[in-house]
Structure formats: C-alpha cells, structure tokens
Structure 1
Amino acid sequence: MKLLSAYSITVFAAMAAAKLQITLPNTHTEWESGSMESIKWKATDESRNALLSIELLEGSDPNNLNTVTTIAEKIPASSMQSYFNVPNNLKSSKNYSIKLVDDNGEEYYGQTFRLNGGKDTGSKKEQTRTTKPNVASNKEVLQDRASSDSPNVQAAKDSKSSPATSAATSAVDSKAMHKNTGTANAAACASSNLAVFAAMVAAGAMF
C-alpha cells in the first residue's frame, strides 16, 4: 500500500473539517501556460460571507510549498469559483497547489497538480548571430566603380595632355612652313639671277 506524505495527510484532514474545501484543481488536473484555468471550492454556511485571497503555491518538496503569486483578493467565498490566466513565464512542475486565505487569516490548501510552463522560443546565441560580409559582392562593386570611372579618367588624361600635344604639333607645322617658304624664295631668287645673267649675255653680243 502506497504511503501518503505528511502534506497529503494534513490536506485531507483539513479538508474533512474545513469551512472551505478546494475541489479544483486536484491531483488529476493539468494546467497549461497561457490558458484560462478554473479554481473551485465548496463553502459551508458559516463561511459564505468571508472574503478570500487566492494564492498559487509551488516547490520542489510537496511538503514545503512557497507562494508563487497571488491570483486574486477579496473574492466572496459564496461565489465558490474564480479564474486564473496562467502566465507563460511559469516553470513546469507537478508540485503546484492552491491556497485560500479568508479575512480571519485561516488558510485552506488544495491538492497538488501539474502545470506545464512556457517553452523557450530561441537561444540568445541565435538571436545575436551576425552575418559575415559578402566579400565577392563587395569586390564586384569595386570593379563596377572602377569601370564607370575609366572614361572620366581617360578624359582627364586627354584633357591634361592636349595643350602640350597641340603646342608640339603647332611648332612642327610652323617649322615645316618656314622650310617650304625658304625653299620657294631660294628658287625664285635663282630664277631671277638666271634671267639677269641671260640679259647680260644678250647685251654683250650686241656690242
């Protein structure tokens, strides 16, 4: 025969003589994080006028549970139920329980039950992971920029060298012009001298 824990014996004894008896959740209950769950109890005639606070308990040792959060306060015992929107940040455990406290300070405990807590949505390592730069892509961008700059660079080179080139070309053309002019003048002079010489010969023959 399975032995009951000291906590369970205390709970069942308290339930038998209690003015308030928690009926839900119980040992067959399983809460899910993010869901709306019900809390129910029975109240005797003498406790119906009491105002209750409702607490959620949990602990690794079912005989020594700690308060996790206060679910509600100043709830009329006569309502005999309340609701709890289970947060996503609660851990999973099979040792959750409900405690009712009336306005006289009397405490009433429910049975332990399981609660399935929220799941981790991702590690910090994944969230902080950075992406390495695309070296090939950056290289292509630099090549494109160099190609687009080439016409401008060539134009700048042409513009920079044009005055010197033009000056050199002009100097060569001028020298050639002077040479041609000198040759023409020499030819004309020679032709004139021949004409004079011929005239002198003709004149001598006459005398």
Structure 2
Amino acid sequence: MVWEGLNIPRETREEAQGHGAAVVWFTGLSGSGKTTIARALERQLFHDGVRTMLLDGDYVRHGLNGDLGFSPEDRRENVRRVGEVARLFFEAGSVVLCTFVSPYRADRDRVRSLIPEGRFVEVFVDVDLEVARARDPKGLYARSQAGDLEGLTGVDAPYQAPVAPEVTVETRDVTVEESVESLRRALVEAGVVPGGSR
C-alpha cells in the first residue's frame, strides 16, 4: 500500500474557513456531564461559524464500534478506533468533540500522539462518584448496585484520571454555560478559534 498525502491539506482548509482544527477529548465517569457540555459547546461553536463534529460514545457504539463490549481490551479498541476517526475529521479542518469515558491514560495519550502539539485538548470532566450515582442518566449505577451490570468504570472497574489535562471542569460546582465559556476560552487561547463571535 502506497501512502498518499491529503488531496486538500488541513492548513489550506483552516485558512479558507478562518479557524483551526482541534480534537477536544472529554473524559470522566458516566454521569459527569461530558455529553451535556460537549453538545452545548458544539452549538456555541456552530453559532460562531466553526466547523464541528461531535463523536459521542453512545452513537459510536451503535455503529462503528457495535461489535465491541466493555472488557479492558474492547475499551482500548473503542478508543483506538475513535482516535483514528477523530484524526480524519481533524485533517478535514473540524473541531472534533469526543465524549468517552476512556478510562485508561495510555489510550488517551495514544490519541493525543495522533494530533499535532497544541491541537489536542484533554478535558477532565470531574465529579464525585456519589454525584454521578445520584445523576445516573443512563441507569448504569442502579443496574450495577442491583448486580445486573459488572465492570462499571469507577465502581468495579478502574478509572485513571488525567494527570495534566488542558482543562478541568468540576460539574458539581459550575454550570454548563460556565463550562462552555471556559472551554471556548481555551480554544481561543490555543489559537484554534477567533476571539469574538461572528
């Protein structure tokens, strides 16, 4: 197989569209608020004229990764595949928002290595386990407590929190709107998106 470069380079796309590309990787326990914040951020960025793509764990597991379970090996493969898809959208000039528990640091670091320095933004959506249990939007913690679900991250499977994420959002203490503003500010400071709304 002979590798060919992109037909239209990412830098050309970025110049034409007036903003850079990036991968914003949301990680945290189920119920932390990853998807809620990412969806709100995407709406804001879209309103600002930024090309976006949201890759959500539930959506991906219904299609691309429908053949994977939740063993450590399957979790790694889930993140590996998503990382490759995120890179494709990145090279197409998009700000790619990825919302995955992604419990292992090594897997997240592997995705980071696919993206140029300064264009991967790891977002640790931090929440106490008890708060996540109380929210339980998918009923996973209730199923785990009832003995109907094994291997739930943070309960009976490990979660390795980021050591030095670009952004930490503590959702017990801040609103969705405040979270979106801090993330948008991080993208502005990284030179990915313009400072003002269009």
- Fold equivalence (TM over 0.5): no
Larger Rg, first or second structure (1 or 2) = 1
**Is the strand fraction higher in 1 or 2?**
1
Higher relative contact order (CA closer than 8 Å, sequence separation 6+): 2
Q: TM-score range by the shorter chain?
A: under 0.3
TM-score (norm 1): 0.21
